[in-house]
Structure 1
């Protein structure tokens, strides 16, 4: 929590706001990873999700939460995201994170299958402890749309502390080596500035490049 103490005054300032959120939509440019995924039998969405979540994990500011009135730093979080079930209604996939890429993709694909097959809503936070509810990242992808921006539903703006990320279809191929998409990142401004979102974008691209070069 040493790094948080350096910005506690910023947190205190934004925590007094009725809506203490920063939400940026921006163009994310990453290495063109789809041929790599095809070569290695990896679904592109799950490959990309792996790098997004692990990039978040490496930046302290996205790991801060408010628990029982105190700021804490969570050590890990669920891997989760929205899916469309067989009735064309929203549902939630959720599974345990892992550092192993192939195992992560396998878990993610299975979690997606379960969520798609369920007619009732699953993997909500109601059954989790108060602490485990904080161990979350909200992820949604809309592959049918070229995303411009998004506003997420929030139960209480003032208490919001879980980052929410969204992206649309992978649609803009710059050349054989680069892929661009619009990504939206929303977080508590007491924890996250635009600079940290910039660091996240850099980390996602760097992680993908490193995996493809290995």
Structure 2
């Protein structure tokens, strides 16, 4: 938490505002990991989710949360993302973390299938304790859209401390790269544009490491 104390004055500044959220949308450049996924028989969404989740854990600013009026730093994640069910309605998939890529993907797929098959809202998050709630990162993917911007709903406008990430349709980039429209919403008391830049770099590094084995 020493790093946070160095920016506590920034936190106090933004946290006193009616909405301290920062929203930034940009085109993220990644190594094209889709051929690797195809060769391994792994769905790209779940591999990217794994890379993003690991990147978040490696950048401390994305692990800060507000709990019972105090700033804490989480050390684990509970992945949570949106799916579309058979009625074309939104639902939520949530699963327990695993450090192992194959196990992470398997759990993610099982959570997706469960949420997609439900007609009612998957409200398993209601069983979480207030502290467990803070271990989440919210994710949504809209592969049909060339995403340019998004604003996520928040339980409390005054406390957007759980980051919300979104991405849209993949596009081929130059030199075998992949272009991904990407959006980050976070508490500006914790995260600046520079940290979002670091997150994008770390996601690319995580994917490169995955492909290199």
Partners of 1:51 and 1:89 in 2: CA distance: 27
TM-score normalised by the chain length of structure 1: 0.97
Structural mapping, 1:30-69, within 5 Å: 30-69=30-69
Partners of 1:11 and 1:22 in 2: CA distance: 12
What corresponds to 2:114 in structure 1? 114
What corresponds to 2:198 in structure 1? 199
Structural mapping, 1:1-214, within 5 Å: 1-170=1-170, 172-175=171-174, 177-214=176-213
Partners of 1:65 and 1:186 in 2: CA distance: 14
Q: Retained in 1: the 8 A contact 2:23–2:185? A: yes
SS state of the match for residue 158, structure 2? helix
| Deviation of 1:156 (Å) | 1.8
| Deviation of 1:153 (Å) | 1.1
Structure 2: 5+ residue runs without aligned partners? none
SS state of the match for residue 146, structure 1? coil
| Deviation of 1:17 (Å) | 0.3
Structure 1: 5+ residue runs without aligned partners? none
| Deviation of 1:126 (Å) | 2.3
Q: Retained in 1: the 8 A contact 2:53–2:77? A: no
For residues 78-105 of structure 1, the C-alpha deviation after alignment (integer angstroms, 9 at most, x for no partner) is 0110000111111000011111111111
| Deviation of 1:124 (Å) | 4.9
For residues 150-193 of structure 1, the C-alpha deviation after alignment (integer angstroms, 9 at most, x for no partner) is 011123211221100000011x2124620001100000000000
| Deviation of 1:123 (Å) | 3.7
Tell me how many residue pairs correspond in the alignment.
Answer: 213
SS state of the match for residue 72, structure 1? strand
| Deviation of 1:149 (Å) | 0.5
After superposition, the CA RMSD in angstroms is 1.0
For residues 16-72 of structure 1, the C-alpha deviation after alignment (integer angstroms, 9 at most, x for no partner) is 000101110011000011100000111011011110111011111011111001101
Partners of 2:133 and 2:109 in 1: CA distance: 23
